[in-house]
Structure 1
Amino acid sequence: MKYLSCGIAIAAIAGGVHAAEMGAVDEPIKLAINEWTGQHVSTHVAGEMLKKAGYNVEYVTAGYMNMYQAMSDGEIHGAMEIWSSNVSDDYAKQVEAGGVTEIGDLGLDAKEGIAYPAHVAEICPGLPAWEALKDCAGQFATAETLPMGRLVDYPADWGTPGADRMTGFDLPFKAVPAGSEGALITELRAATEKKSPLLITFWQPHWAMSAYDVQFVDLPVGEPACFEDPAWGPNPNAVNDCDFAPTRIFKATWSGFDEKWPAAAEILANFTLNVADQQPLMGKIDVEGQSVEEAVAAWMGANEDKWKPVVDAATN
């Protein structure tokens, strides 16, 4: 779950752009709220931009994996953070049926991988190169993994991507599933405070990437052949000897959206958000205890240059 340019990008606002019709401003635009904080941030920034343009916005709690039929039926009008690495088959079905329309990338530089707090590079010289783990696995051993090192993997119901990498690269590590996302954070906090060794499966965007200076192990790029052909990659006897498959994060709307709210459609199509802006907002909410509304309102007030040109281009 990469760090980057600057906030909300201003896409497609070059010459020749003219204001769109506002459409049905008396009817609410319903944006889906899913199960994780980053999505709440992305959706509220988009929604507040629509409000600044003069629209009525409602935030609707929706199950991420099963919301696409409701979107196709026009009961939900937009989803602002869909991950290609974890999206249900129903999404593709609804796009193919014509009820849901993809409207472009959100702009978050997403990444999943094998990671460690920055201080661990002193414990295991040679990091971030993955080969360094061959020689220092013993530094990561615990009573339950001896003589192998311990990798704290995703919770069991998220799959076993970390364990797959340890097998793929033939590394002397035992993957131990975390009990929850909170347990992963507890491991990062403890290792950072004690300056102790930790290898973990993790992702960005996530506020903990910044809070605990988490770094990714360098692995070969995850190409399709890596997951199918053992001969591909550094280990000729196994698949998964590569990084996670690259992930896109994109946006989608009900297919009737652009006809009903033309200016809003332009705003959402041109709205992007990057990790450098989203991650600190996640920290404000999950660590400092601010509400999503409070954190996003403060960001909007301090960053008009990042979102206002998108709204102005569609409405003025």
Structure 2
Amino acid sequence: MHYSFCILFLFFVLKINAYNAPDQNTILLPLNAWASQRVLTKVVAKKVRELGYNVEFVEIGSTDQWGALRKGIIHLQIEVWQSDQTNAFTEAVKKGFVIDAGRHTAQGREDWWYPEYVENICKGLPDWRALNKCSSIFSNNSKSSKGIFYTGPWNYRDADLIRSLKLNFKIERLKDANAIWTKLRNAKKIEKPIILLNWTPNWIDVRIKGRFVNFPKYEEECETDPGWGVNKNMLYDCGNSLVTILKKAAWPGLKKKYPCIFLLLKNIDFTNDMISEAAALVVVDGYTEEKAVSLWLKKYSQDSKKWLGFECPLNLE
């Protein structure tokens, strides 16, 4: 009886493991917490299937994805925002944990942002020094003068920025980009002051007028030399880089195991308009991600066809 139980238990364990493990013909693609990445990843999934591979999507945070890429839990990432030279992507590439698969034509920016109407209430913006003079208007508590900066589940250095520039603000971290946009829409309806993390290219570019806060200009010394900048005792007393490079990343084993997918990844190239459109179709127009993929591919059919303009090699070694 005991022997039979062990055999039965082993059977179920093996069956479960076999079910969970993707087959050798499956490409694992990450889905992050913002619309453009999700839509464009599903666009790429269609191209992967055209090459004869299966696709599985993995819901994963942008900070967790680097360990997953290193281990092959996911195989690639098509939208990496490289805002400085010390971020997780750069460090992972330096250590050989992740492959830098090239950059997109698109260039971006990420930083604190507010709707244009806020300038009527907080004179001096977009200069960062106006923030403390007006911090109370960004509070959600009438008894508090401490403003709120809304951001998502991403590993930015906003807490360091607040400390080093002595900003009278606290961070409210929301679960994803959709939660940020809900806060923004609700504030805009009544022209309530709000300040939040925004990035471009994004749907906001063509829907809501606003500006990034002008913090002290980013230089590498801001992250390495406490004596640099406004605060002589602390690092990170500057904004993000005015130009964020958008890149692609790959699992180190992708080139050898899936050479056709590696070439596809190298060929993919997004413009600012392509990324903005992917986000707007979901966030503004209200389409499902699947419908957005269909509409996006219809608009950019010629561009996306070029991604498959190669012959699959047996290997790239």
Give the TM-score taking structure 1 as reference length: 0.71
Letter in 1 for 2:281: K
Indicate which of 270, 274, 278 corresponds to 1:273.
270
Q: 1:170 to 1:254 in 2, by over 3 A?
A: closer
1:234 aligns with 2:209: no
**Range moving further from structure 2, 290-299 or 175-184:** 175-184
- Residue 232 (structure 1) shift: 1.4
Indicate which of 218, 222, 225 corresponds to 2:221.
225
CA distance in 2, matches of 1:229, 1:71: 31
Report the RMSD for the aligned CA atoms in angstroms.
3.7
**Which ranges in structure 1 are unaligned for 5 or more consecutive residues?**
1-26
Alignment correspondent of 1:109:
107
Alignment correspondent of 1:38:
36
For residues 112-191 of structure 1, the aligned pairs below 5 Å read 112-137=110-135, 139-140=137-138, 143-144=141-142, 146=144, 148=145, 150-154=147-151, 158=154, 161-171=157-167, 173-181=168-176, 182-191=178-187
CA distance in 2, matches of 1:107, 1:283: 19
Q: Which has the larger radius of gyration?
A: 2
CA contact (8 A) 1:68 1:90 kept: no
1:56 aligns with 2:59: no
CA contact (8 A) 1:154 1:162 kept: no
- Residue 35 (structure 1) shift: 2.9
Alignment correspondent of 2:301:
304
Q: Any idea what the Cα deviations from partners look like across 1:38-78, whole Å, max 9, x if unmatched?
A: 322232222333445x4334133153555567656666443
- Residue 270 (structure 1) shift: 2.1
CA contact (8 A) 1:112 1:201 kept: yes
- Residue 195 (structure 1) shift: 1.7
Letter in 1 for 2:115: P
CA contact (8 A) 2:282 2:289 kept: yes
Partner of 2:38, secondary structure, is helix
CA contact (8 A) 2:150 2:197 kept: yes
Letter in 2 for 1:301: K
CA distance in 2, matches of 1:56, 1:179: 35
**Which ranges in structure 2 are unaligned for 5 or more consecutive residues?**
1-23, 313-317
Q: Any idea what the Cα deviations from partners look like across 1:130-161, whole Å, max 9, x if unmatched?
A: 23335444544554564x35132436x65684
Q: Any idea what the Cα deviations from partners look like across 1:245-273, whole Å, max 9, x if unmatched?
A: 67544323344544555454333102122
CA distance in 2, matches of 1:165, 1:72: 30
CA distance in 2, matches of 1:206, 1:33: 20
User: Which one has more relative contact order, counting CA pairs under 8 Å at least 6 apart?
Assistant: 1
CA distance in 2, matches of 1:195, 1:69: 41
Partner of 1:41, secondary structure, is helix
CA distance in 1, matches of 2:143, 2:179: 18
- Residue 125 (structure 1) shift: 3.5
- Residue 190 (structure 1) shift: 2.4
CA distance in 2, matches of 1:66, 1:210: 31
Q: Any idea what the Cα deviations from partners look like across 1:193-236, whole Å, max 9, x if unmatched?
A: 11222222344455455543342112233333223434311333
Letter in 1 for 2:217: V
CA distance in 1, matches of 2:209, 2:137: 20
CA distance in 1, matches of 2:138, 2:251: 48
CA contact (8 A) 1:222 1:242 kept: yes
Partner of 1:272, secondary structure, is coil
Letter in 2 for 1:302: K
CA distance in 2, matches of 1:268, 1:253: 8
- Residue 116 (structure 1) shift: 0.3
- Residue 91 (structure 1) shift: 4.6
Q: Any idea what the Cα deviations from partners look like across 1:166-195, whole Å, max 9, x if unmatched?
A: 332334x33242454455333311221112
State how many pairs are aligned.
282
CA distance in 2, matches of 1:274, 1:150: 35
Letter in 1 for 2:149: V
1:200 aligns with 2:217: no
Letter in 2 for 1:38: S
Identity of aligned residues (%): 26
Q: 1:201 to 1:149 in 2, by over 3 A?
A: farther
- Residue 110 (structure 1) shift: 3.9
CA distance in 1, matches of 2:38, 2:286: 14
CA contact (8 A) 2:229 2:238 kept: yes
Partner of 1:96, secondary structure, is coil
Partner of 1:46, secondary structure, is helix
